[in-house]
Amino acid sequence: MPARPPDPARLHAILAEQRAALGPPASPEPGAPAAVPALQQDILVAVLAAVDAGTEPLRPALRVTTQYLLDLLAARAPGRAVEVRIPPFAAVQCIEGPRHTRGTPANVVETDPLTWLRLATGRLDWPAAAANGALRASGPRSDISAWLPLAGPGGGLRAAPPR
């Protein structure tokens, strides 16, 4: 079953709540409704600002950001050979290769949402995350570092790596 598309009104509310949690100065609300990808990117920037401020991002904003970054990975590295799990928020299958159909996948990457955020934005590299135990990767195709980072440290999208 395909994922339900995000509701722009809900994304606006999550963005406003995360920005409010950061405290003054409040960002002005845009005059025209933003498209879903722009809202997701704005939430990513707000979550990164919370992390930079040393505060825990709000759970709804972290959930949106986690799913957004996983969707970027799946779009840039389509396939079903590797399952990337970010409990409790989301999981995707990506990378070309042998398709997983049932049972435990042969290639699995699993980490927590904040480690995923740091990996996907280039704030943490793959070897460091694996070495400190924040990242668990099993299977011969589970190293997805060639597709990371997906966004820069400030939240701006990066071009897809050459294939």
pLDDT tens column, 7-59 = 999 999 999 999 999 987 655 555 556 789 999 999 999 999 999 999 999 99
Question: What is the DSSP-derived secondary structure letter of residue 151?
Answer: B
- The pLDDT of residue 4 is 76
Closest CA to 67 of 116, 19, 105, 21: 116
Q: Alpha carbon of 78 to those of 84, 126, 153, 154: distances in Å?
A: 12, 20, 24, 25
Tokens of 39: 């809202």
Q: Kindly report the average pLDDT of the chain as a whole number.
A: 88
Distance CA 127, CA 32 (A): 42
Mean pLDDT of 84-107: 86
- The pLDDT of residue 50 is 97
Q: Is the pLDDT of residue 2 over 80?
A: no
Confidence of residue 91 (pLDDT cuts 50, 70, 90): very high
Tens of pLDDT, residue by residue over 46-59, are: 999 999 999 999 99
- The pLDDT of residue 13 is 94
Task: Tell me the CATH class for 77-147.
Answer: alpha beta
Q: Which pTM does this prediction carry?
A: 0.87
